[in-house]
Amino acid sequence: MTNPLNDLYTLPFEGNLHDGTIILLPYRIDTWEDGGKKAFNEFKEIIFAISLYEHVYVIKSKNVKYDYSELENKNNISIHEIEYDDSWARDNTLIFLRNKEGKLRTVDFGFNAWGGLVDGLYYPWDNDNNLGKELAKLLNVETYYDKDFILEGGSIHSNGKGLLLTTEACLLSEGRNKNLSKEEIENHLKEMLGMEKVIWLPHGIYNDETNEHVDNMACFLDEKTVLLATSKDNNDIQYKWSMEAKEILESNGLDVLLVNCPNPYLSLTEEEANSIILDDNAKPRLKGDRLAGSYVNFYMGKDFIILPKFNVAEDIEAYNLLNDFYKGKKKIHQIESRKILVAGGNIHCITMQIGKGE
């Protein structure tokens, strides 16, 4: 197949109209409390909220052991059985591109569980790496396979006008594409995603186990405005990292809107840790571990936002900030997502938009 750039396919802005959303149900006992049973209630509410606006493709593994029947026979929701290793659709599915005529194409990048045998989060990841191929069949979408290049959807964010955000901590990590230089990685991103410029932030959210994905740290709200996570605690390392990022973004002509992370930061409770089974094939999740909670990790379409809720004072701050920015034009559904956070991600991480086709 020809290279996506040669026929002007680009990565759209997430806040545009979608053809649908992909979500994978959780099941791992070494990542999710009670094998995903507790998190399912949050997944369910997110699925129902998105289905008010667009079709939700719910992907279910045969390893899902809890009752998911509430999702069956619902408007705008379909369930499909495909195998995968974990439920982070942002990272292990497909990247959807669009050309000016409205035709869709996807890129299926390589996936190695956020770092492979260097610092990946679980092993094996074969089903995840094969998931894009199976989804391309399901959705009947033309796909370009770039499996030798490791890239997760959460590590990039596009303004839809040729500008891409990413972090050095993630894309330059040893467990991904260590045979490539920063310049080579940047050129590959431009080529494969139809981008004109890449802005590199040094860091993401502190202790983000994905090697600091940008989608937990910074995202475009429109073509020129970036929402950037920060800390109320000036002595916290997150505040230092966020101020460095703010300076870089503003030096590139972007407007920056700051949103506070929960303060004090959230951490894993003993009850939560005890609900996750430790084994040698996945990252241990232990009492007291700092959680990378951030309101930037929301999901949006043309008319909606699905925003994390942690039951802390900063919840309403984040809601009001986004509601004011969009002047109520995007309906904000703030949904509790603590159980998703315990597993290492949040609402943006469990969703992948299918860009609007012709």
CA–CA separation, 343 vs 345, rounded Å?
6
CA–CA separation, 301 vs 330, rounded Å?
8
pLDDT tens for 89-142 read 999 999 999 998 999 999 999 999 999 999 999 999 999 999 999 999 999 999
pLDDT for position 174? 97
pLDDT tens for 313-340 read 999 999 999 999 999 999 999 999 999 9
Residue 349 falls in the annotated catalytic set: yes
**CATH number for domain 4-355, candidates 3.40.50.620, 3.75.10.10, 3.20.20.70, 3.40.50.300:** 3.75.10.10
Please give the average per-residue pLDDT across 18-30, as a whole number.
97
Amino acid at 148: D
Q: Are 38 and 27 spatial neighbours (Cβ–Cβ below 8 Å)?
A: no
- Among residues 161, 168, 171, 96, which one has the least CA distance to residue 135? 96
Residues paired with 20 in a beta bridge: 55, 354
Task: Pinpoint the alpha helices (H) of 237-305.
Answer: 237-251, 270-274
| Residue labelled with tokens 């191929």 | 133
- What are 49's two structure tokens? 């909220």
Q: Are 139 and 105 spatial neighbours (Cβ–Cβ below 8 Å)?
A: no
Q: Is the CA virtual torsion 204, 206, 208, 211 positive or negative? A: positive
- Among residues 193, 172, 269, 272, which one has the least CA distance to residue 10? 193
| All residues at 6 or more sequence positions from 235 whose CB lies less than 8 Å from its CB, including other chains | none
pLDDT for position 6? 47
Q: Are 226 and 140 spatial neighbours (Cβ–Cβ below 8 Å)?
A: no
- What are 211's two structure tokens? 């090697």
Q: Quick check: 215 pLDDT over 50?
A: yes
Task: Pinpoint the alpha helices (H) of 299-337.
Answer: 314-326
Cis before 124? omega within 30: yes
pLDDT-wise least confident of 4-8, 145-149, 219-223: 4-8
In the chain, domain spans? 4-355
The total number of residues written for the chain in this structure: 358
pLDDT for position 8? 86
Parallel, antiparallel or unpaired: strands 304-309 and 299-300: antiparallel
Main-chain dihedrals φ then ψ at residue 167, nearest 5 degrees: -125, 145
pLDDT for position 207? 96
Q: Whole-prediction pTM value? A: 0.96
pLDDT tens for 281-313 read 899 999 999 999 999 999 999 999 999 999 999
For 70, the 3-state DSSP assignment is helix
Q: How far apart are the first and last CA of the chain?
A: 20
Task: Kindly compute the dihedral angle of the four CA atoms of residues 125, 340, 149, 14, in this order, to the nearest 10 degrees.
Answer: 140
Active-site choice (170, 219, 261, 349): 349
Q: Are 341 and 310 spatial neighbours (Cβ–Cβ below 8 Å)?
A: yes
Which percentage of the chain shows pLDDT scores above 70?
98
| All residues at 6 or more sequence positions from 202 whose CB lies less than 8 Å from its CB, including other chains | 167, 168, 169, 241, 244, 245, 248
- Among residues 296, 328, 331, 314, which one has the least CA distance to residue 219? 296
